[in-house]
Amino acid sequence: MKKIPFVTRAQAEAIAKDHPTPFYLYDERGIRKNAEDVKKAFAWNPGFCEYFAVKATPNPYLMQIMQDYGFGFDCSSKAELLLSDAVGAPGPKIMFSSNDTPAEEYALAKKLGAIINLDDITHIDFLASIIGDEFPKTMCCRYNPGGVFQLSNGIMDNPGDSKYGMTKEQLFEAYARLKEHGVENFGLHAFLASNTVTNDYYPELAAQLFALAKEAHEKLGIHFAFINLSGGVGCAYKPDQEPNDIYAIGEGVRKVYEKILVPAGMGDVAIYTEMGRFMMAPYGALVTRAFHEKHIYKEYIGVDACAANLMRPAMYGAYHHITVLGKEDAPCDHKYDVTGSLCENNDKFAIDRMLPKIDMGDLLFIHDAGAHGFSMGYNYNGRLWCAELLLKEDGSVKEIRRAETVEDYFATFDHTEFAGKLGVSPRS
Ligand SMILES: *Cc1c(COP(=O)(O)O)cnc(C)c1O
């Protein structure tokens, strides 16, 4: 499918007048349309709730958009919990799916009334050491089946190698022990494959989790309030990939729900999801300007963003489609490496990519950066975080996070003798 930017060159240039490149730009219209589709695709399940995975794009303005659809938030850190609280999410709309969890964060999750999703059986005692015997009435456990996770088109991922979740034996024991702690409503959660671009992932995962919940219900006599399919619904980063169809996915889950849960008398179980990538990735772009060209053994285009702004290509070799704005229909007859400025040779947004001829000053639209993009940023080489902008439905632009300044970057020296010289107010 041809990838079409959600702004024209003229629009992007107009935005860049007030907001210097690089910047992240999010498309409110696209986000809302997709959220609406997710809601409709699972409307057959009255308790359905998407808990947007905050780590994908931790911005309160984007989180507020999610709230318009009744969605909650999946968190795994103190900052993510605080963001969810700041946008006014009530406890039951916060899922705390953490791992290797600090005591302070369990205490905060409990205080906020969040649903705690235990990553491990040993966390029951750990939690008890923090909150005493005041266990919440509703709690969730994370399952890891081990082995490999396979769909008809091959191996999707390798749960046996992943640090998350409990074995089946531990899971059943954990439920029994939580019941002794007074927990009355249970959830089951698993995340078995990441960035799946197939409509079969959720239905297959759901079939496994539904069968397991049925078994736990029958053996332990516990009530399942929800089954949490977690994240993993992917993005078609490459133009030749067929994007997921959320309606087909919702329908696939409905079929196994009616086959497994309804006959077991478990037709009241709510379906929860924790999608991050699927909710945001296609609706955010990193916009950057070409300002150097270099002709050595290869042709290089230097842009004003770098891997510190978008790490996925450097870290995973991930493909992000690039459109040279204004040259959407020009022939892709030039082969470039598109690079950032880090002193790291993997700081390349594209390698040997066929693109239209790039002229200095051209704006590049790096697609599908709306999730796990800004949020995975870092400060290597003293590079600063860029701004996040929201392109609203009425065409106006709102700065939803300003760019970092050197003063921000130096702020953690505010207690030192260098504070003044670095231009930060000394901490008194
Ligand atoms: C990362 C994560 C998600 C979101 O994953 P996506 O691939 O962005 O959908 C959901 N739940 C948990 C527990 C996660 O760690």
For residues 30 and 6, give the distance between their C-alpha atoms in angstroms, rounded to a whole number: 9
Is residue 72 domain-shared with residue 188, that is, in the same domain? yes
Q: Is 97 in the pocket of ligand 1 (CB under 6 A)?
A: yes
Is residue 330 domain-shared with residue 201, that is, in the same domain? no
For residues 227 and 233, give the distance between their C-alpha atoms in angstroms, rounded to a whole number: 16
The residues, any chain, with a CB within 8 Å of residue 346's CB and separated by 6 or more, are 307, 313, 314
Contact 158, 149 (CB under 8 A): yes
Q: Is 52 in the pocket of ligand 1 (CB under 6 A)?
A: no
Q: Is 231 in the pocket of ligand 1 (CB under 6 A)?
A: yes
Query: 231 C-alpha vs ligand 1 centroid, how far in Å?
Result: 4
Any domain includes 189: yes
Any domain includes 14: no
Residue of 55, 57, 142 with the most ligand 1 atoms within 8 Å of its CB, for mutation: 55
Find the CATH number of the domain harbouring 271.
3.20.20.10
Is residue 128 domain-shared with residue 272, that is, in the same domain? yes
Q: Structure tokens of 427?
A: 């901490």
- Supply the range of the domain harboring residue 178: 28-280
Q: Is 56 in the pocket of ligand 1 (CB under 6 A)?
A: yes
Any domain includes 427: no
Q: Is 190 in the pocket of ligand 1 (CB under 6 A)?
A: no
Residue where one domain finishes, among candidates 226, 250, 280: 280
Find the CATH number of the domain harbouring 300.
2.40.37.10
Any domain includes 22: no
Q: What is the pTM of this model?
A: 0.97
Residue of 34, 142, 201, 274 with the most ligand 1 atoms within 8 Å of its CB, for mutation: 274
Q: Is 53 in the pocket of ligand 1 (CB under 6 A)?
A: yes
- Mean pLDDT confidence for 280-294: 98
Q: Is 222 in the pocket of ligand 1 (CB under 6 A)?
A: no
pLDDT of residue 275: 98
pLDDT band, residue 1 (cuts 50/70/90)? confident
Residue where one domain finishes, among candidates 245, 280, 315: 280
- Mean pLDDT confidence for 205-211: 98
Residue 215 gets which letter from DSSP? H
More confident site: 427 or 389: 389
Residue where one domain finishes, among candidates 235, 262, 280: 280
Q: Is 55 in the pocket of ligand 1 (CB under 6 A)?
A: yes
| Tens digit of each residue's pLDDT (9 = 90 or more) over 154-206 | 888 899 999 999 999 999 999 999 999 999 999 999 999 999 999 999 999 99
SS3 label, residue 132: coil
Q: Is 142 in the pocket of ligand 1 (CB under 6 A)?
A: no
Q: Is 287 in the pocket of ligand 1 (CB under 6 A)?
A: no
Residue of 50, 105, 230 with the most ligand 1 atoms within 8 Å of its CB, for mutation: 230
For residues 358 and 373, give the distance between their C-alpha atoms in angstroms, rounded to a whole number: 24
| Tens digit of each residue's pLDDT (9 = 90 or more) over 332-347 | 999 999 999 999 999 9
Q: Is 276 in the pocket of ligand 1 (CB under 6 A)?
A: yes
| Tens digit of each residue's pLDDT (9 = 90 or more) over 42-73 | 999 999 999 999 999 999 999 999 999 999 99
Is residue 259 domain-shared with residue 380, that is, in the same domain? no
Contact 114, 91 (CB under 8 A): yes
pLDDT of residue 153: 75
Average pLDDT score over the chain: 97
Q: Is 274 in the pocket of ligand 1 (CB under 6 A)?
A: yes
Per the structure, how many domains does the chain have? 2
pLDDT band, residue 239 (cuts 50/70/90)? very high
Residue 133 gets which letter from DSSP? T
Residue nearest to atom 10 of ligand 1 (CA): 231
SS3 label, residue 189: strand
Query: 53 C-alpha vs ligand 1 centroid, how far in Å?
Result: 6
pLDDT band, residue 152 (cuts 50/70/90)? confident
For residues 256 and 203, give the distance between their C-alpha atoms in angstroms, rounded to a whole number: 7
Q: Is 164 in the pocket of ligand 1 (CB under 6 A)?
A: no
Atom of ligand 1 nearest to the CA of 56: 8
Q: Is residue 254 pLDDT above 80, yes or no?
A: yes
- Mean pLDDT confidence for 212-222: 98
Any domain includes 144: yes
pLDDT band, residue 308 (cuts 50/70/90)? very high
Atom of ligand 1 nearest to the CA of 231: 9
Is residue 114 domain-shared with residue 190, that is, in the same domain? yes
Q: Is 275 in the pocket of ligand 1 (CB under 6 A)?
A: yes
Q: What are the angstrom distances between the C-alpha of 224 and each of 70, 102, 179, 255, 281? A: 21, 27, 12, 19, 32
Residue nearest to atom 14 of ligand 1 (CA): 231
- Mean pLDDT confidence for 133-150: 96
Q: What is the CA radius of gyration of the chain?
A: 23
Instruction: Identify the H or E element spanning 154.
Output: strand 154-157
Q: Is 277 in the pocket of ligand 1 (CB under 6 A)?
A: yes
Query: 76 C-alpha vs ligand 1 centroid, how far in Å?
Result: 10
Is residue 183 domain-shared with residue 328, that is, in the same domain? no
Residue nearest to atom 7 of ligand 1 (CA): 232
Query: 327 C-alpha vs ligand 1 centroid, how far in Å?
Result: 35
Length of the chain in residues, anyone?
428
Any domain includes 5: no
Is residue 154 domain-shared with residue 89, that is, in the same domain? yes
Is residue 225 domain-shared with residue 286, that is, in the same domain? no
Is residue 268 domain-shared with residue 294, that is, in the same domain? no
Q: Is residue 427 pLDDT above 90, yes or no?
A: no
Is residue 169 domain-shared with residue 306, that is, in the same domain? no
List, as one string, the DSSP characters of 17-72: HHSPSSEEEEEHHHHHHHHHHHHHHTTTSTT-EEEEEGGGS--HHHHHHHHTTT-E
Residue of 52, 54, 74 with the most ligand 1 atoms within 8 Å of its CB, for mutation: 74
Is residue 302 domain-shared with residue 357, that is, in the same domain? yes
Query: 4 C-alpha vs ligand 1 centroid, how far in Å?
Result: 26
Is residue 268 domain-shared with residue 331, that is, in the same domain? no
Q: Is 74 in the pocket of ligand 1 (CB under 6 A)?
A: yes
Contact 271, 257 (CB under 8 A): yes
